[in-house]
Structure 1
Amino acid sequence: MSSDWRDVCIGALICATLVGAVRCGMERRKMLPLPPGPRAIPFIGNVRGIDINAPWLAYTEWGKRYGDIVYSHLLGQQIIVINSEKVAIELLEKRSHNYSNRPTLPTSALFGLDFNTVLIEYGARWRRQRRVFHQAFRAEAALSYRPMQQRKAQQLIRDMLDTPEEFIKHVHTYSSSLIMSALYDYETERDDALVELIWKSLKLAVQELRPEVAALFTAFPIFLRLPAWFPGMSIKRKATQSREWVREWMNDPFQLALKRTAEGTAQLSMVSNALRRIDGKNSSGEMTIIKESAATAFGAASETTSGVLQVFILAMVLFPEIQVKAHTLIDAVVGASRLPTFEDRSSLQYIDAILRETLRWHPILPLSTPHASVDSDVYEGFYIPKGAAIVPNVWAMSQNEHKYPNPSQFSPERFLNADGSLNDDTVNIAYGFGRRICVGRHLADASLWIAISCLLTTFAFSKRTGANGDAVDFEVEWSSGVAIHPLPFPCSITPRLRKVDI
Structure 2
Amino acid sequence: MSSLGLALPLFCGVWFVYIRWICNKFYSRPPGPKPIPLLGNVLQLPIEFQERTMMKWARQYGPLVYARFLGRHTIMVNSAEIMQDLFAKRGAKYSDRPPLILMNELLGWSPSSAFLPYNAQYKRHRRWMHDALASKTKLLEYRQIQKKETCILITGLMTTPEDYVSHFLRFTAGSVAEIVFGHTVGSVDDTYIRLSEKATKATAEIGSPGSMLVDFIPILKYWPTWFPASDWKRKALAVRPTIQDMINAPYNMVKDQMVLGQAKPSMVSKLIEENSQKKEGLSVQDEIDIKNTAAVLYGAATDTTVNLLVAFLLAMIKYPEVFKKAQEEIDRVVGPDRLPEYEDRDSLKYLNAVIKELYRWHPPLPLGIAHFSMKEDTYQDCSIPANSMVVPNIWAMTQDSNLYPDPEEFIPERFYETESADSQLDLKNPYNLIFGIGRRQCPGQAFADAGVFYAISNMIATLDISRIRDDNGDEINPPHAFKSGLVHHLLPFQCKIKPRSQRVVKLVVNSLESLN
- Give the structure-1-normalised TM-score: 0.88
1:99 aligns with 2:94: yes
Which of 482, 488, 497 is the matching residue for 2:501? 497
Q: Match of 1:304?
A: 304
Q: Secondary structure at the match of 2:85?
A: helix
Cα deviation for residue 290 of structure 1 reads 1.5
The residue number in structure 1 matching 2:199 is 201
Shift of 1:220: 5.0
- Match among 166, 181, 184 for residue 184 of structure 1: 181
Question: Take 2:211 and 2:64, find their aligned partners in 1: how far apart are those partners?
Answer: 23
Q: For 2:267 and 2:21, locate their aligned partners in 1 and report how far apart those are by CA, in whole Å.
A: 47
Unaligned runs of 5+ in 1: 1-18
- The counterpart of 1:459, out of the listed 460, 463, 466, is 463
What is the CA–CA distance in structure 2 between the aligned matches of 1:351 and 1:265, rounded to whole Å? 41
Tell me, in whole angstroms, the C-alpha distance in 1 between the residues paired with 2:373 and 2:316. Answer: 40
Of 435, 438, 442 in structure 2, the residue corresponding to residue 438 of structure 1 is 442
Residue in structure 1 matched with residue 3 of structure 2 by the alignment: none
Give me the whole-angstrom Cα distance separating, in 2, the residues matched to 1:130 and 1:310: 28
1:462-473 counterparts in 2 under 5 A? 462-473=466-477
1:85 aligns to 2:80 (yes or no):
yes
**What secondary structure is seen at the aligned counterpart in 2 of 1:97?**
helix
1:146-178 Cα deviation digits (max 9, x unpaired):
100111111110110111111122112222222
Partner SS, residue 47 of structure 2: coil
Q: Partner letter of residue 112 of structure 2?
A: N
Counterparts of 1:193 and 1:93, CA distance in 2: 39
Q: How many Å separate the matches in 2 of 1:25 and 1:360?
A: 45
Check the 8 A contact 1:98/1:373 in 2, yes or no.
yes
Q: Deviations over 1:337-375 (max 9, x none)?
A: 332122322222322221111001121111111101001
Tell me if the contact between 1:75 and 1:215 (Cα under 8 Å) persists in the aligned partners: no
Picking from 109, 127, 141, the partner of 2:105 is 109
CA contact (8 A) 2:25 2:383 kept: no
2:149 partner letter:
K
Q: CA deviation at 1:137?
A: 1.1
After superposing the two structures, state which structure 1 stretch, 57-66 or 400-409, moved more. Answer: 400-409
- Judge conservation of contact 1:261–1:275 (CA < 8 Å) in 2: no
Aligned to 2:213: 215
Q: Deviations over 1:252-286 (max 9, x none)?
A: 21122234445554444321233343354425833
Residue 209 of structure 1 and its aligned partner are, at CA, apart by 3.9
Residue 334 of structure 1 corresponds to which residue in structure 2?
A: 334
Q: What secondary structure does 1:199 align onto?
A: helix
Q: Is the 8 A contact 1:112 1:242 kept in 2?
A: no
What's the Cα RMSD here?
2.7
Q: Work out the CA distance in 2 between the residues paired with 1:145 and 1:469.
A: 45
Residue of structure 2 in register with 1:403 after alignment: 403
What does 1:265-414 correspond to in 2, within 5 Å?
Answer: 265-280=262-277, 281-282=281-282, 285-414=285-414
* Superposition deviation, residue 32 in structure 1: 6.4
Separation in 1, partners of 2:212, 2:356: 32
Structure 2 regions of 5+ residues with no counterpart?
1-13, 509-516
Residue 458 of structure 1 contacts residue 498 of structure 1 at CA under 8 Å; is this kept in 2? no
**Range moving further from structure 2, 243-252 or 29-38:** 29-38
Q: Is the 8 A contact 1:415 1:422 kept in 2?
A: no
1:61 to 52, 56, 65: 56
Give the stretch that moved more between structures: 452-461 or 490-499.
490-499
CA distance in structure 1 between the aligned counterparts of 2:70 and 2:266, rounded to whole angstroms = 44
Aligned to 1:15: none
1:118-267 aligned at under 5 Å gives the runs 118-140=114-136, 141-190=138-187, 191-210=189-208, 214-216=212-214, 219=217, 221=219, 223-225=220-222, 227-261=224-258, 265-267=262-264
Q: Note closer, same or farther for the CA distance 1:25–1:122 as it changes in structure 2 (3 Å cut).
A: farther
Q: 1:478 to 1:124 in 2, by over 3 A?
A: same
Q: Aligned letter for 2:157?
A: M
Letter in 2 for 1:392: P
Residue 217 of structure 1: how far off its partner (Å): 6.1
Partner Cα separation in structure 2 for residue 360 and residue 353 of structure 1:
11
Tell me if structure 1 keeps the 8 A contact 2:318–2:478. Answer: no
Q: Distance in 2 between matches of 1:220 and 1:305?
A: 31
Name the amino acid aligned to 1:325.
K
> What per-residue deviation string (whole Å, max 9, x for no partner) do you get for residues 187-209 of structure 1?
22321222212221222222224
| Aligned residues of 1:368 and 1:432 also touching (Cα < 8 A) | yes
Look up the match of 2:478: 474
Distance 1:220 1:124, change over 3 A: closer
SS at match of 2:391: strand
**Matching residue of 2:487:** 483
Of residues 407-416 and 211-220 in structure 1, the stretch that sits farther from structure 2 once superposed is 211-220
How far residue 226 of structure 1 moved from its aligned partner, in angstroms, is 5.3
Asked whether the equivalents of residues 370 and 389 of structure 1 are also in contact (C-alpha less than 8 Å), the reply is: yes
State the alpha-carbon separation in 2 of the partners of residues 177 and 307 from structure 1.
16
> Partner letter of residue 42 of structure 1?
P
Amino acid aligned to 2:125: Q
**What pairs up with 1:11-50 in 2 under 5 angstroms?**
29-30=24-25, 33-46=28-41, 50=45
Instruction: State the distance in 2 between where 1:178 and 1:25 align.
Output: 59
The 3 A distance-change label for structure 1 pair 294 and 40 is same
- Identity, % of aligned positions: 35
Q: 1:24 to 1:347 in 2, by over 3 A?
A: farther
- Structure 1 residues 211 and 353, CA gap change in structure 2 (3 angstroms): same
Secondary structure of the 2:91 match is coil
